[in-house]
Amino acid sequence: MVRTLLLFVTLLLFVTLLVPPAQAFELQPFSASYTADFKNAPFAGTAERSLAQLRDGSWELRFEAAMLVARLTERSRFRIEQGALVPVSYQYSRNGLGSSRTVEQDFDWSTRQILGLRKGKAYRVPLHRGLLDRSTYQLALQQDVARGKTSMTYQVLDETEVETYDFRVLGEENVRTRAGLIRALKVERVRDPGQSRRQTTLWFAPSWNYLLVRLHQRENDGKEYQIMLKSGEVNGEAVKGR
């Protein structure tokens, strides 16, 4: 059960926005609710994700997921400098089934150090321009697609290690959601097939500032998971399909 929750959370951590290449990159507040279906499993999960601008001009990306008695929360605060996303802090917490887990990261740009706390133990990681946390890379993906890129690579701090995340754009498809039929851009996570057979595909809605509307993942063991948009709001407007 714990492994299933972690897989569910891993899927939802891909939630992101993208902007059409013809438009300038601009963050817009959003909120979205999702349902998750697990093939051959008698239960489903839910998740909420939102982006809001704070009074000091910085931004906060929040995520909450729940399944049965387990719960996960994630919060990232960042600012924008000369068009670049600059992480300020990142917090992660998981409670419920199995052992609890917390991660805290403060990005100290004055000393070029990330001050982290994981399972009660402090650690430091060198900080350099372009390094993102597990939430802000999603908005960097939005920015790059807005610039017309079809292939993207990011350096992401995944707890105590810096990982490389690769994506590519595949094309367009229509996706039927609870909000209606929505035209979407299809994007996939690129992995080395020699190291992992996991497949992750995402669909984003151009008409709704590229809000995520569907995500499908096939694990190495063949298990499949799907996340679908239940309802959403972008810049104050409710998401509606055809």
Q: Which helix (H) or strand (E) holds 9?
A: helix 2-12
Q: What is the chain's pLDDT, residue by residue, as a tens digit (242 residues)?
A: 445 545 555 555 544 333 333 444 578 999 999 987 766 555 568 888 899 999 999 999 998 888 777 788 999 999 999 888 999 999 999 887 667 889 999 999 999 999 999 888 999 999 999 999 998 888 887 777 767 789 999 999 988 999 999 999 998 999 999 999 999 888 898 988 877 888 888 888 888 887 888 888 888 887 888 888 999 999 999 999 98
What is the value of pTM for the model shown? 0.81
Structure tokens, 218: 């096939």
CA distances from 195 to 75, 144, 176, 220, 221 (A): 30, 26, 33, 10, 14
Pick the CATH number of 2-57+130-238 from 2.60.40, 2.50.20, 3.20.20, 1.20.1050: 2.50.20
Nearest 5°: phi and psi at 26?
A: -150, 120
Question: How far is CA 23 from its chain centroid?
Answer: 22
Matching residue, tokens 């996960």: 72
